[in-house]
A and B are shown apart, each in its own frame.
Chain A
Amino acid sequence: MFYGEASGLKMGKATRDAFGRALEELGKDRTDVVVVDADVGNSTRTEWFAKAFPERSFNIGIAESNLVGIAGGLAASGKTPVIASFACFLLCNAYDQIRMSVAFPELNVKLVGTHSGISIGEDGPSQMGIEDVALACSFPGMTVVVPADEPSTRAATAAMLDHRGPVYLRLGRPSVPIVYENGVEFRIGKANVVRDGKDVTIIANGLMVAVALDAATALEKEGVSARVVDMHTVKPIDVEAIRAAAEQTRGIVVAEEHAPFGGLGSVVAMAAAENGISTPMRFVNIGDRYAESGDPMGLLKKYGLTPEAVADACRSVLG
């Protein structure tokens, strides 16, 4: 059993795998792309690029601070460096280096955090990036993208390289179902409605899009029509998608695989408040706590990231 199955989705690759293949492919034409790795390339999948383009790949050892600084220098000299590590190590360990060597000078560095959320499973909380979206969003000028599946990650990787300026791309470890089986139109900052509905809107990203689709499938049996919006770009947020949800449905549920403060839920709520969009909201996330080791599905259930939890939030928001 996997989330998305109830909605007829087929299992696809992990987003980190999709990224790795896309980067390898794009690297052929994009000779400005350089990969720097802090010795996790076989986990982040940048090793595929490194095998194809060894002269443009540097493994600088387990040193995230140095990793980010080197990327800043490469970008200042005209390269497009892609640096990938576990979301928690990249954002938490090297936060100040991202601030000083990437965000503040507005350098064209692509930061990729894999192994985000609790769905990494058995390795446990020290390896789980549950604060990374909040940290990434906190940098002025940073673009933050959280794709849901394999096709959209491929598109997001290309869009990330085409975008001028710092980008954080958040990816996951486990295989995830394919949301965009029939192709994807991917534009940074433009949310995708992956299922239309008229009663309630679920705004989700990452693997929570598949969870949201299952919630919508379950709600349909009760006669509740739920719209599912893939808010793959957290920053800049798509205000119009939020406005449409508020005007065309009766409430919003935001679902994310992240800690509650500073992530997608916070950003959606603030964007709504700031733009005079008034609608009831509920938030589904990990909660204000660290998780534990365990199998990914067991963790998602225990920490409330299930279609049932999302459906409950929808019922609650509809009163």
Chain B
Amino acid sequence: MAVASTTSIDELKEKAKTLRRHIVRMTTEAGSGHPSSSLSAVEVVTALYFGGFLRYDPQQPRKPDRDRFILSKGHAAPVLYAALAEAGYFPVEDLMTLRKLGSPLEGHPNYKRLPGIEASTGSLGQGLSIGIGHALAVRLDGYDARVYVMIGDGEMDEGQVWEALAAANKYRLGNLTAIIDQNGYQQTGATKDVLDLTPLDEKIRAFGWHVQTINGNCMESVVAALDAARKVTDRPTCIIAQTKKGFGILDVLQETGDVNFHGKPLPPDLAEKALEVLK
């Protein structure tokens, strides 16, 4: 398994915990946000930024040959901000300014205001199309850069995603990887109840993509899947990361009686409990 030479799986797991603590702290401090939607995506984001998959330079955030990560499910911004801070794009203390007036750490990612943000997202369904644009551009310029796009499983309801899946296949974008954070829930309930799109893997495979389905909260599986995806160069790749919304503090969320826990921060007392768990 080609993990970055400097980072072991154990170190990645520790980093994941750090990101989770940031997510809980910053959303509770903000008094709003989507911690559960962020927590499900932590392993993937951690592996991308710290497992040697994304090649980036915080000092040159728009370097043309960089790899790109687009968070299409923009409401999970806290996981991205946590990773960017840990990666050195801005001071970790800034995380506590989340959603506050004047802070570039807005409720959803703002391309114009924060280095490291590759696309303004928050209106669902658009990130994969933007990713195709980047992938075509770097191919035209002859860079071997990769483009990763994280999409929510609820977000797959949006028709534009399927337009993009078809187009990426037409251009055989071997430098494009879509990661579906399949946490099983969307705003009002379970994705299977709101609009059941399963089996996602067969559908996306039928669109010509290389598809892997993995446990997206298992660091070993995430690293292995990203490594396998990187070796596929003749067509776009998709990783269906089966995750749990709120992973890492599931027991704490259980206490609230709301396993979806969509779009709200932990109250301070529960945040304390969660931070205990994440020690």
A residues neighboring B (CB under 8 Å): 34, 55-56, 58, 60-61, 63, 65-66, 68-79, 81, 96-97, 99-101, 104-106
Contact = CB atoms under 8 A, between A and B. Distances in A.
A73 B163 contact: no
10 contacts: A56-B140, A60-B170, A61-B167, A69-B160, A76-B130, A77-B133, A79-B140, A97-B129, A101-B130, A104-B111
Interface string B112-153: 100000111111011111111111111011000000000000
B167 A72 contact: no
Nearest to B129: A69
Given A69-B126, A78-B64, A105 B133 contact: no
B136 A58 contact: yes
B118, B129, B130, B136 interface centre (most CB from chain A within 10 Å): B130
Nearest to A66: B163
A63, A69, A73, A74 interface centre (most CB from chain B within 10 Å): A73
A69 B136 contact: no
Contacts of A76: 111, 118-119, 130, 133-134, 137
Given A60-B167, A66-B160, A73-B134, 10 more contacts: A58-B136, A70-B129, A70-B164, A71-B133, A73-B133, A76-B130, A79-B133, A79-B137, A105-B111, A105-B120
Contacts of B123: 96, 99-100
Given A65-B159, A69-B160, A101-B126, A75 B167 contact: no
B121 A69 contact: no
* 7 cross-chain pairs, A with B, having the tightest CB-CB distances, nearest first: A73-B133, A69-B129, A77-B137, A66-B163, A63-B163, A73-B130, A74-B133
B120, B166, B170 interface centre (most CB from chain A within 10 Å): B120
Contacts of B163: 60-61, 63, 65-66
Contacts of A70: 129-130, 132-133, 136, 164, 167
B157 to A, nearest CB: 14
B76 to A, nearest CB: 16
Contact of B136 (A74, A100, A104): A74
B133 A81 contact: yes
Interface in B164-179: 164, 166-167, 170-171
Contacts of B167: 60-61, 63, 66, 70
B129 A66 contact: yes
Interface residues of B, number: 34
Contact of A100 (B122, B131, B134): B122
B195 to A, nearest CB: 18
Contacts of A79: 133, 137, 140
A66 B170 CA distance: 13
B178 to A, nearest CB: 13
A250 B132 CA distance: 54
Contacts of B126: 65, 69, 97, 100-101
Contacts of B138: 77
A76 B133 CA distance: 8
B132 A34 contact: no
A34 B132 CA distance: 14
Contacts of B119: 72-73, 76, 101, 105
A71 B135 CA distance: 11
A74 B135 CA distance: 8
Contacts of B141: 77-78
A76 B119 CA distance: 8
Contacts of B164: 66, 69-70
A70 B137 CA distance: 10
Contacts of A66: 129, 132, 160, 163-164, 167
Nearest to B117: A105
A132 B74 CA distance: 28
A73 B126 CA distance: 10
A78 B141 CA distance: 10
A37 to B, nearest CB: 12
Contacts of A74: 133-134, 136-137
Contacts of A78: 64, 137, 141
A199 to B, nearest CB: 47
Contacts of B137: 34, 73-74, 76-79
A11 B122 CA distance: 48
Nearest to A68: B129
Contacts of A65: 125-126, 129, 159-160, 163
A213 B82 CA distance: 61
A79 B138 CA distance: 10
A63 B164 CA distance: 9
B186 to A, nearest CB: 19
B140 A73 contact: no
Contacts of A34: 136-137, 140
A101 B140 contact: no
Contacts of A56: 140
A73 B129 contact: yes
Contact of B171 (A58, A72, A99, A101): A58
Contacts of B140: 34, 55-56, 79
